[in-house]
Amino acid sequence: MVNVKLLHDFISLEFDELEQKYQDDDIDFLLDEIDGLAFNESHIIVEHTESFSDETVNPEELSSDISQTLDDRGFSRKYIEDYIKAAKQKSPSDVYIALIKQTLIGDSTKNIAPRFKFKNGNIRLKD
């Protein structure tokens, strides 16, 4: 499973900035996985959904720019198509919720949900 924060930065930052923030092993792992990575809603960058909801932005032009960026970074055509489709349809709050779900529940070996309390009980996805 890839680190979602690293993935977001991989999409949005220049490579030299990425190297300053992350260890080479983490970046290498991501680069090895990138062409076969399955799309997940938590991968969407909130700024992309905000841009699609901005009425002054041309959605076709924005789609093309995002698609080119993802292609340059090595993502598969299927991943790019799924990403663009979801970014157009989702609201920023939907993206935040997907990211929270991924963080709390995502990888079962790193599931942090049981460690958080809500209303004197364990946090649940519904909460």
DSSP 57-113: S-HHHHHHHHHHHHHHTT--HHHHHHHHHHHHH--HHHHHHHHHHHHHTSSGGG--G
pLDDT digits (tens, 9 = 90+) for 5-39: 899 999 999 999 999 999 999 999 999 999 899 99
The answer to whether 1 and 106 are in contact (CB under 8 A) is yes
Q: Greater confidence, 114 or 84?
A: 84
3-state DSSP call for residue 78?
helix
**Residue 20 identity (one-letter amino acid):** Q
114-123 mean pLDDT: 55
Domain ranges across the chain: 4-91
Share of the chain above pLDDT 90, in %: 46
Q: Greater confidence, 32 or 111?
A: 32
Q: What's the predicted TM-score (pTM) here?
A: 0.73
The answer to whether 38 and 79 are in contact (CB under 8 A) is yes
